[in-house]
Amino acid sequence: MIPFADHIAELTSHRDRELLDLALASSLMDMVRPRMVSIHRCVGEAEDRRWLNRGHLRRGDTVPKSDLPWSDLENLPRLEPSEPRFVALTEQRLVMVGAAPGRAYFPLVGGSDAVGVIEIETDAALDETAQRTIEGVLRIFHNFDRLLDYSERDTLTGLLNRKTFDESFLKATSDLMPDTDAEKAGRRCCGGDPCGYWIGVIDIDHFKSVNDRFGHLIGDEVLLLLSRLMARSFRLHDRLYRFGGEEFLVLMRCPAEDDAAQAMERFRVLTEQFEFPQVGRVTVSSGFTAGRPGDTPSGAFERADQAVYHAKQNGRNRVCSHADLVAQGLLTDTTKVGDFEFF
């Protein structure tokens, strides 16, 4: 058995949330020796919450299994009030069921709310020593998770912040590099089509006038409400960022440009139709581009931002594709590698 301190050192070495959950499952399996450990995250909106498995390990397994991070929400199991894990989640308390085998459900807390459940299956009812061990590990996990949130998220909107984008982008676009057929098969979208990554930049139209007319507190409320509209409009696995000021970004996984365009247009329409308190109607201008093999975060952002600039110069409240603008001769394509640009 690996010493407790080594498990904690391993857990707190991860900044990637998916790897962190998998490491938690592995650590609990080694420390408690249960029959099974499973991490269930609660995802989706309040009216349609689902379970996403972020780490499942049975005794004898060497590698944890998990749901694909890009799973469609409708394919995930709903939260059912009759389930013990639902009780553990909503009441934020340990729930124990059965004796041989026994099952224990520990709430996984993020901030002040439960965000998931750890399910532990044991040969007999979980003893007090094992219970204290798990609770101690979860307290450390919770504290580390809060530190990650503090460093990775925008304090106003709760979206990811700009400094986390580079790492997320490079991890995503590494999937675009040529590889084996088996690895490529794992990079397909849920419908079976090959997937690519798309970067969308969103900028609020005339936001300065909102601050000038209504004040910065109301301006902040617009930013917060817009971030919530983004969470409603984009999918579970799309990564949402606030880049600063009135500029937002989304990193999407889509099979084709039309799918990315539809996602961006859906959000534009949702924003246009939303009634912002005191301010009324607000619109956004957006641009998007495909991630490319060997792409850089700054290069991809610059292409999408050029498309945003074109949208603003041509009427605002619209979505522009960088590739379409290049094809029409309205923009010049550039490929940026490191500090160099190739035309």
Cite the active site residues: 246
Single out the residue of 129, 39, 126 nearest to residue 88, CA to CA.
39
- Written as one string, the DSSP assignment of 212-278 is HHH-HHHHHHHHHHHHHHHHHHS-TT-EEEEEETTEEEEEEEESSHHHHHHHHHHHHHHHHH--BTT
Q: Cα separation of 139 and 39, whole Å?
A: 15
The set of residues, in sequence order, having a beta carbon less than 8 Å from that of 254 and lying 6+ positions away, is: 189, 195, 196, 197, 198, 260, 263
Asked if 116 and 21 touch (Cβ cutoff 8 Å), the reply is no
Burial class of residue 110, CB neighbours in 10 A (0-12, 13-18, 19+): middle
* Cα R_g (the chain), whole angstroms: 22
- Asked if 93 and 108 touch (Cβ cutoff 8 Å), the reply is no
The CA distance from 2 to 7, in Å, is 7
Q: How far apart are the C-alpha atoms of 216 and 118, rounded to whole Å? A: 41
- C-alpha torsion sign, points 226, 227, 231, 234: positive
Side-chain half-sphere exposure of 322, counting CA atoms within 13 A: 25
Tokens representing 133?
Answer: 């061990």
